[in-house]
Amino acid sequence: MDRLWGRLEPIAADHIVPMEDGETAHIGGQAIQAIHTPGHAIHHITYRLEDGLFTGDVGGIRIGHGPTIPPCPPPDIDLEAWLDSIQGMRVARPAFIYPTHFGIKRDGVTHFDSLEENLHRIAEWVRQQLAAGTSEEAMVPRFQVFLNGLLAGYGLDDRAIQDYEIADPAFMSIHGLARYWRKKEARG
Beta-ladder partners of 27: 30
Q: What single-letter amino acid sits at 25?
A: A
Tell which residue, 126, 112, 107, has the closest CA to residue 68. 112
Return the pLDDT at 28.
Answer: 93
Average pLDDT, the chain: 93
Q: Which residue has the higher pLDDT, 149 or 188?
A: 149
Q: For residue 164, how many other CB atoms are within 10 A of its CB?
A: 22
- pLDDT exceeds 90 at position 161: yes
Cβ pair 92, 109 in contact under 8 A: no
Instruction: State the fold for domain 2-187.
Output: Metallo-beta-lactamase; Chain A (3.60.15)
Q: Is the pLDDT of residue 185 over 80?
A: yes
Give the length of the chain: 188
Q: pLDDT band at 1, cuts 50/70/90?
A: low
pTM of the prediction?
A: 0.89
